[in-house]
Chain A
Amino acid sequence: MSTTNTPDSRSSREKAPAGERVADWADGRLGIYSLAKANMRKIFPDHWSFMLGEICLYSFIIIILTGVYLTLFFHPSMNEVEYHGSYVPLQGQLMSEAFNSTMHISFDVRGGLLIRQIHHWAALIFLAGMFVHMMRVFFTGAFRKPREVNWLFGFLLFVLGMFTGFTGYSLPDDLLSGTGVRFMEGAVLSVPIVGTYLSFFLFGGEFPGGDFVARFYSIHVLLLPGIMLGLVVGHLILVFYHKHTQFAGPGKTNNNVVGMPLLPVYMAKAGGFFFLVFGVIAVVSAIASINPIWAMGPYRPDQVSTGAQPDWYMGFSEGLIRVMPGWEINFWGHTLVLGVFIPLIIFPLVLVAIAVYPFIESWVTGDKREHHILDRPRNAPTRTAFGVAWITWYMVLLIGGGNDLWATHFHLSINTITWFVRVAFFVAPVLAFIATKRICLGLQRRDKDKVLHGRESGIIKRLPHGEFIEVHEPLSQEQLHTLTSHEQYEPAAIGATVDENGVERKVKGSEKLRAKLSESYYGEESQIAKPTIEEYKEITSGHGHH
């Protein structure tokens, strides 16, 4: 290898090391150097909450890897067979081939149970990760321009993940999942006018028929994951393109991104994190059994067990259906099954409520600028309160979805729990909204006090004339900057109602609504004006602490 650099690039390339020559070859055909120029040393800011999305990405990859393995053994067929595998209690039982092959994977394929459990655990973690990641993005305002589209990508991934999970855990055709599929069929039947037809088309006739496992299979392994893979790639491209958001701090502005480069630090950290996530899921799958289908047995439409629960991410829809009063309206030979249909409608509405929020907020603020500095949740009290109210709503429904378990574990009356959820569905989000907003304002006040009066040192000093004072330590300039750098909006007022010629213009309803919302977002009741330089100077201009 030559150590001298000749200006003639051709001769230097011939002597270059092998890796370099391969890279040159690829660049000549794929143009990888321009791609690497922008991305190899790309800066990523550091914060623990930024790794939540990584957990989702990695569990998604783990799900795909283990899922491909499972397809090698799983038979998506509902043909009835007699069980003759190595699990003694079920021998001679009639079951579908789907259940039979899942039993085979669990008991007769070495490591098959492990891969099945990793697949299922990773799915639960994937959904939980997306939920928490979404909340991180929500509460820090990371969904603001230019990231609204990526918020929607993420939201779609969450919703599709739910349905991929549902179709996935229905595949083994066991007693528990079959009950869930029956629930879905009942829900589809409740749709006015077309419900019966939809159900017959979905199941190839009457429930359960012999088709749904094969149909769910192609939806679960091909259709939905295909869409999700596309969305994940788009999501990541946009993360790279927008560059990551960062929290306010010294040296961090809306026009820069402060952190460490992809190569080597994040290559090692993020790459390593994949192995950490995979390792933890593998250990969990080694010690914690999940979906033990052998204990539940094959599905029979006339059998059921108590404590039937869907996987956690479907729990809120279960709650909706459990607490809804059984309203049915019969007229002209038709039935409107409101008791099931209303939950079926609210189910997507719960999700859409959080999905459209970024657009509502940007309409209220009228802000068209890009935002790359994250908000601390306390500095956006109305948004934070809305988010907490939404989570409360979701959690109330989760309680409703597990009302039988709450009743048996805490020795409560199931009727009381159901009534509690019915009331809390309307009341709890409101209370959560009010409480959260107050807490946020309290925290804003504390920040303001800290800026103006310094940090409470806990030291009490007695002055010569007997007076006791508490010593406050001034904040460093870094802290002062961090605590005062957030933006505060003014409530948007309705523009002049009279133009320059004195002609009155009509104020549109939407404009009034926006002014009202803006007032409730940014009015005096909804934010604490941050300390001004004048206030600060007056307090610190040598009159001692007050």
Chain B
Amino acid sequence: MSSQDIPEENLPAEQDAHGAVGVADEKDPFADPGLPPHEHRVQDIDERAARRSERTVAMLFTVSMLATVGFIASYVAVPHDKAIYVFPIGRINALNFALGLTLGVALFAIGAGAVHWARTLMSDEEIADERHPIEASPEVRAKVHADFKQGAKESALGRRKLIRNTMFGALALFPLSGVMLLRDLGPLPGTKLRHTLWSKGKLLVNMNTNEPLRASDVAVGSLTFAKPEGLEEHDEEFQTEIAKAALMIVRIQPDNIKDKRELEWSHEGIVAYSKICTHVGCPISLYEQQTHHVLCPCHQSTFDLSDGARVIFGPAGHALPQLRIGVNDEGYLEALGDFEEPVGPAFWERG
């Protein structure tokens, strides 16, 4: 298709490309002047330039071939655990670097060659193509509507209401089987979110040393993470249980504890709080000993551990649950029961 096919109203208006504005087309100075004339590239007129382009393209394709050979060579030759220093990135894996670079060059050179070929050697003459309306012509439309009416009539769907209604019923009901099949995706929640492994008499075990904690182990200003006695990393349910039972233990001077119940549930200023944020369940791990604030690194909810772990900033909705602790006869810290409220994020049944 050529510019001859441009609709009439768009044909070049009277043209005086570089003339003064005053002498532009008398009737409509804004009229469409039509496609501008094609401007030749140097490759179109100078065969030597075209040859140069040809050589550039061929060179790029050759570079690609060499890079692929380089890829295979690196794959074979470079050990997979060797690190090299590459300025300015630093120390990186040599094999990854070599493979990625050679693969990247091999691919990029193909692309660059193809694009250079298209831009310099293939015709760059702009062509106009006609558009046709997306919607059908009125005749086609009428025909389709008539066909549909005929088909619908022949099916008698509208007339035989009994068939129609029972069919709709059947089609609406059968997906229920699929929904039912989803039931066993998981157990019902029950009260699982309300209970953790903690119970009366369970010792607090230091997460790092795997030894039960003594009251004397916990210094003022320190932060210790603890798990319930008997829960080991190799246990089948370890991940699920620790997700609820993880504990944060700090020692605060008893006179600095503002909340009365907190003091009661502590042992000589040693307080145990759930480590799981009440916002969406990240483990809280940033403790500022001067202010007794803990901060969740995920969404920055901040709790005041000297004041019942109430929320002082951020998106969390309620205080961290406290675990009531004491010491047993041998001087080890122990739980005096489970958490009194569910740990972690709030949910509908929490209340």
Contact = CB atoms under 8 A, between A and B. Distances in A.
Main secondary structure of the interface of B (DSSP, over half): loop
Nearest to B278: A326
Most buried by A among B21, B96, B317: B21
Contacts of B157: none
A111 interface: yes
A436 interface: no
B139 interface: no
A118 to B, nearest CB: 8
Interface in A455-490: 474-478, 480-481, 484-485
Contact of A326 (B13, B86, B311): B311
B279 to A, nearest CB: 7
Interface in B228-267: 233-234, 238-240, 242-244, 246
Contact of A190 (B101, B110, B246, B345): B345
B264 to A, nearest CB: 23
Contacts of A485: 30, 32
B305 to A, nearest CB: 17
A205 B184 CA distance: 10
Interface residues of B, number: 117
A54 to B, nearest CB: 12
B53 interface: no
Contact of B127 (A259, A301, A339): A259
B128 interface: yes
Contacts of A265: 118, 122-124
Contacts of B188: 197, 200
Given A146-B134, A279-B108, A287-B89, A209 B29 contact: no
Range of interface residues on A (Cβ < 8 Å):
35 or more
Nearest to A273: B111
B274 to A, nearest CB: 10
Contacts of B298: 179, 183, 304, 308
A201 B185 contact: yes
Contact of A113 (B36, B96, B103, B286): B96
Contacts of A261: 127
A205 B89 contact: no
B240 A207 contact: yes
Given A273-B115, A283-B108, A334-B351, A258 B13 contact: no
Contacts of A264: 118, 122
Most buried by B among A191, A203, A204, A339: A339
Interface string A103-122: 00001101101100110000
Contacts of B192: 205-206
Interface string B310-344: 01011111100000000000000000000000001
B81 A325 contact: no
Given A186-B280, A275-B107, A533-B28, A201 B36 contact: no
B160 to A, nearest CB: 34
A299 B347 CA distance: 23
A196 interface: yes
B103 A205 contact: no
Nearest to A324: B315
Contacts of A42: 129
A80 interface: yes
Interface of B: 1, 3, 5-7, 10, 13, 15-18, 20-22, 24-25, 28-36, 75, 80-81, 86, 89, 92-93, 95-101, 103-115, 117-119, 122-131, 133-135, 182, 185-189, 192-193, 207, 225, 227, 233-234, 238-240, 242-244, 246, 275-276, 279-283, 285-286, 297-301, 311, 313-318, 344-351
11 contacts: A43-B129, A146-B135, A179-B298, A200-B188, A250-B34, A255-B130, A256-B10, A256-B131, A306-B286, A477-B24, A533-B30
Interface pairs A-B: 9 shortest CB-CB: A286-B100, A186-B280, A279-B108, A272-B114, A275-B111, A251-B35, A474-B21, A276-B111, A283-B104
Interface of A: 42-43, 80, 86, 94, 107-108, 110-111, 113-114, 117-118, 146, 179, 182-183, 185-187, 189-197, 199-209, 211, 241-243, 250-261, 264-266, 268-269, 271-289, 299-308, 321-328, 330, 332-337, 339-340, 370, 372, 403-404, 414-415, 418, 451, 454, 474-478, 480-481, 484-485, 533, 536-537, 540-542
